[in-house]
């Protein structure tokens, strides 16, 4: 099985680190992985995206023009990536800041109130982990224990005390995903 | 088996240099390769292996530090991106002329001029056919994954010392910035002064011993007959490289009606394109040159007799396509598809180009 995913939003939302933690989780589950970021003038407030591929087989292109899943966290990314989801694929978005919700009729659409949930959890920086949890509900590509191992591997030791809080956010996201349209 | 990590192509260059017993890195920051020196500075190898890491005042200074250190028989590496490599071109020509080994990494970006910071393969001509002046060649290795980027650092040194000729690792912003799994090599200790003397004492300027001739490192020779002899010797080395050190990979070529030829990140995109085309019933194979010089002329000539047409896919306006045309001859069409200026072609675009330029045409 191969999962081709794009995560897109604002710089500062934790888009790249979410991809990195997912990639590490894949490594922990002995999968092939690739992580290719948009890089350059992107910064806090600008757009940022990352392509993550998890597979049992050798990964060919790390750069794609259509995706199994798109996780979309701002309007610019919706405009850019909604049409790049494969028919029958999955689109997950956080409605906070989205003016034009997705219109495609041929894909599965999910909503996650990541911004609200992270605020309720008391740490807005856990936003990306809430979204990761929601994604894993829709697409169980890696197990929760691999995510924990992935967090341990990708975070420097001095930040390891934050892992329980992050796992709580992943769990909360997992429980809070809403299906809006199934095909 | 070595240690498994998830790393960026740029980071792994630094890690591989430390582990393969490299003596020094001299460089100057430029996007998209800055992580090379950042990783080295973070790793502080001077504490671990004694490797020197120095940020020079410019690319011109870095390449001449490489020249000096290589002259003393040391294992030295530098890295930059396209405009920085242009600045180094004079020094590279001198190093080739003085017959010194070193590894130069180009994490290339879109040009010409300052261009863009996005990935590009528009430095193919510069890497394989000059860049600097004079009849010299670089050994050019084009990795297509983070693992190969890791492996080619040590391989680059092996070939550079085998031929006493600079080797280049030509990657780009895709390979440099992406993270993949990589199995790191075990540590090789740096050579001691005695070992350098034993191995390279016949040419290295590492302190003249009482019982030995003076070694002179220079690219200057005022006597034209002697200079021609130097050139003949260089040409013999380049011919030997073409005989002994060509590397390439063939993917699904056995039953192919059409052939894609691509190197580095383009070859990854083409692997996906091969799968997409085969889903549509088009039998396509991929030949991936791993050494861009020496170029895999023979395998291309062999495949050219079997397929109906060749599409060369590059992130440039058409550079390697000239070498493929020379190797393939005139019997079948050899076309080019490329995107420029930092735009990365998608697998779907490659299949469309194949249908339009070869199958439909």
Per-residue pLDDT, averaged over B98-106, amounts to 98
DSSP code of B150?
Answer: H
Whole-angstrom distance, CA of residue A86 vs CA of residue A102: 14
Structural domain includes residue B330: yes
Q: What is the pLDDT of residues A23-43, one digit of tens each?
A: 999 999 999 999 999 876 655
Nearest CB to B269; choose among A33, A37, A63? A63
One domain, residues B13 and B156: yes
3-state secondary structure of B164: coil
Q: What is the DSSP string of B226-280?
A: HHHHHHHHHHHHHHHHHHH---EEEES-TT-SEEEE--HHHHHHHHHHHHHHHHT
Confidence of residue B61 (pLDDT cuts 50, 70, 90): very high
pLDDT tens readout for residues B128-138: 998 899 999 99
Residues B57, B38: Cα–Cα separation, whole Å? 16
Q: Is B118 on the interface with A (CB under 8 A)?
A: yes
Average pLDDT over residues B98-119: 96
- Identify the residue among B5, B6, B262, B273 best suited for mutation to test binding to A, counting A beta carbons within 10 A and taking the highest: B6
Q: Could you tell me if B44 and B170 lie in one domain?
A: yes
Q: What is the band of A154 on the pLDDT scale with cuts at 50, 70, 90?
A: confident
B84 and B164 share one domain = yes
In a domain, B337, yes or no: yes
Has residue B234 been placed in a domain? Answer: no
Last residue of a domain, one of B127, B160, B183: B183
State residue B212's pLDDT score: 82
* pTM of the full structure: 0.95
Question: In sequence order, which residues have a C-beta less than 8 Å from that of residue B162 and are 6 or more positions away?
Answer: none
Position A42 scores a pLDDT of 56
Last residue of a domain, one of B160, B183, B206: B183
ipTM for the whole complex: 0.91
Structural domain contains residue B59: yes
**A91 close to A109: Cβ distance less than 8 angstroms:** yes
Q: Residue B119's pLDDT is what?
A: 94
Predicted confidence at residue B22, as pLDDT, reads: 98
pLDDT of residue B360: 84
For the cut 80, the answer to whether the pLDDT of residue B283 exceeds it is yes
- Select the residue from A21, A53, A63, A151 to test the B interface by mutation, using most B Cβ atoms within 10 A: A63
Instruction: For residues A78-90, give the mean pLDDT.
Output: 97
**A39 CA: distance to closest CA in chain B (Å):** 8
β-bridge mates for residue B105, sequence order: B79, B169
CA–CA separation, B260 and B273 (whole Å): 9
Measured in degrees and rounded to the nearest 5, phi and psi for residue B279 equal -60, -30
By C-alpha distance, which of B18, B63, B11, B67 is closest to B37?
B11
How does the average pLDDT of chain B come out, rounded? 96
Q: Would you state the pLDDT for residue A40?
A: 63
pLDDT at B74: 98
Whether a cis peptide bond, with omega within 30° of 0, leads into B102 is no
For residue B186, how many C-alpha atoms fall within 13 Å in the half-sphere facing its CB?
2
Do B79 and B152 lie in a common domain? yes
Total number of domains in chain B: 2
Tell me how far apart the alpha carbons of residues B93 and A14 are, in angstroms, rounded to a whole number.
Answer: 45
**B36 with B148, same domain?**
yes
Helices (H), chain B: 9-19, 35-43, 45-48, 59-71, 82-97, 124-128, 146-163, 173-177, 193-200, 224-244, 264-279, 297-304, 320-328, 347-354
Q: What is the CATH number of the domain that holds B112?
A: 3.40.50.970
Which residue segment(s) compose the domain that B55 sits in? 4-183
B328-348 tens-digit pLDDT: 999 999 999 999 999 999 999
Contact A63 B348 (CB under 8 A): no
H/E stretch holding A18: helix A15-28
Both B163 and B255 in a single domain? no
Unique residue bearing structure tokens 């299949």 = B351
Mean pLDDT of all residues in B156-165: 98
| pLDDT surpasses 90 at B139 | yes
Q: What gap in Å lies between CA A86 and CA B149, rounded to an integer? A: 32
pLDDT category at A47 given cuts 50, 70, 90 is confident
Q: Indicate if B146 and B269 belong to the same structural domain.
A: no
Domain boundary among B161, B183, B205: B183
Q: Are residues B13 and B101 in the same domain?
A: yes
Instruction: Flag whether B349 is in a domain.
Output: yes
Closest-CA distance of chain A to residue B275, Å: 9
> Which of A20, A34, A40 minimises the CB distance to B117?
A40
Domain of B276, CATH number, reads 3.40.50.920
Q: What contacts A164, CB < 8 A, 6 or more positions away? A: none
Q: Is residue B291 part of a domain?
A: yes
Please name which of A149, A141, A142, A153 lies closest in space to residue A167, comparing C-alpha atoms: A149
Task: Give the whole-number percent of chain B exceeding pLDDT 90.
Answer: 96
CB proximity A33 to B under 8 Å: yes
Q: Residue for token digits 């302190």? A: B207
Same domain, B27 and B143: yes
Residue A39's pLDDT is 72
Q: Does residue B228 form part of some domain?
A: no
In this prediction, residues A135-164 reach a mean pLDDT of 93
What domains are there in chain A, each with its CATH number?
2-181 (3.40.920.10)
Q: Which two tokens stand for residue B161?
A: 């010392």
- Domain membership of residue B213 (yes or no) is no
Chain A interface, mutation test: which of B9, B115, B143, B180, most A Cβ atoms within 10 Å? B180
Q: What is the pLDDT of residue B202?
A: 93
Q: Cα(B215)–Cα(B98) distance, rounded to whole angstroms?
A: 12
Q: What average pLDDT score do residues B346-361 get?
A: 92
Report pLDDT digits (tens) over B25-59: 999 999 999 999 999 999 999 999 999 999 999 99
- Judge whether residue B361 has pLDDT over 60: no
Per-residue confidence band for A44, with pLDDT thresholds at 50, 70 and 90: low
In degrees and rounded to multiples of 5, residue A115 shows phi and psi of -60, -45
């Amino acid at each position: 099985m191969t999962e081709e995913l794009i995560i897109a939003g604002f710089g500062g939302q934790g888009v790249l680190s979410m991809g990195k933690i997912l990639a590490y989780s894949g490594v922990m589950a002995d999968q092939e992985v690739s992580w290719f970021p948009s890089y350059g003038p992107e910064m806090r407030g600008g757009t940022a995206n990352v392509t993550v591929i998890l597979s049992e087989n050798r990964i060919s292109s790390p750069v794609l023009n259509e995706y199994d899943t798109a996780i979309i966290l701002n309007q610019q990314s919706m405009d850019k990536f909604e049409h790049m989801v494969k028919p029958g694929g999955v689109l997950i978005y956080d409605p906070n800041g989205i003016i034009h919700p997705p219109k495609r009729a041929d894909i599965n659409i999910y909503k996650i109130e990541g911004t609200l949930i992270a605020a309720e959890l008391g740490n807005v920086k856990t936003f990306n982990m809430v979204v990761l949890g929601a994604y894993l509900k829709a697409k169980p590509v890696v197990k929760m224990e691999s995510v924990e191992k992935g967090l341990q591997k990708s975070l420097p030791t001095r930040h390891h005390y934050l892992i329980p809080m992050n796992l709580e956010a992943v769990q909360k996201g997992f429980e809070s995903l809403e299906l809006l349209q199934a095909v | 088996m070595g240690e498994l990590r998830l790393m960026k192509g740029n980071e792994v260059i630094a890690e591989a240099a430390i582990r393969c017993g490299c003596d020094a890195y001299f460089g100057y920051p430029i996007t998209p390769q800055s992580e090379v020196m950042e990783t080295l500075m973070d790793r502080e190898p001077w504490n671990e292996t004694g490797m020197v890491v120095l940020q020079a005042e410019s690319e011109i200074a870095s390449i001449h530090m490489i020249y000096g250190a290589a002259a003393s028989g040391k294992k030295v590496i530098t890295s930059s991106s396209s405009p920085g490599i242009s600045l180094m071109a004079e020094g590279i020509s001198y190093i080739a002329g003085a017959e010194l080994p070193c590894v130069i990494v180009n994490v290339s970006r879109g040009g010409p001029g300052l261009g863009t910071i996005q990935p590009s393969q528009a430095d193919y001509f510069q890497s394989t056919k000059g860049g600097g002046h004079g009849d010299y060649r670089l050994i050019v290795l084009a990795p297509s994954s983070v693992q190969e980027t890791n492996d080619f650092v040590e391989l680059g040194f092996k070939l550079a010392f085998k031929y006493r000729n600079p080797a280049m690792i030509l990657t780009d912003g895709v390979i440099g910035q992406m993270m993949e799994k990589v199995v790191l090599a075990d540590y090789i200790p740096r050579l001691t002064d005695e070992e350098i003397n034993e191995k390279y004492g016949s040419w290295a300027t590492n302190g003249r011993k009482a019982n030995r001739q003076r070694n002179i490192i220079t690219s200057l020779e005022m006597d034209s007959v002697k200079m021609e002899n130097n050139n003949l010797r260089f040409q013999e080395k380049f011919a030997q490289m073409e005989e002994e050190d060509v590397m390439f990979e063939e993917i699904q070529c056995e039953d192919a009606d059409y052939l894609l030829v691509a190197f580095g990140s383009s070859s990854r995109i083409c692997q996906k394109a091969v799968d997409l085309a085969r889903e549509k019933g088009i039998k396509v194979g991929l030949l991936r040159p791993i050494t861009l010089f020496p170029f895999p002329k023979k395998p291309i000539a062999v495949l050219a007799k079997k397929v109906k047409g060749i599409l060369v896919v590059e992130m440039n306006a058409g550079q390697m396509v000239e070498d493929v045309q020379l190797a393939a001859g005139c019997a079948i069409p050899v076309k080019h598809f490329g995107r420029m200026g930092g735009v990365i072609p998608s697998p779907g675009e490659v299949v469309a180009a194949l249908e339009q330029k070869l199958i439909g045409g």
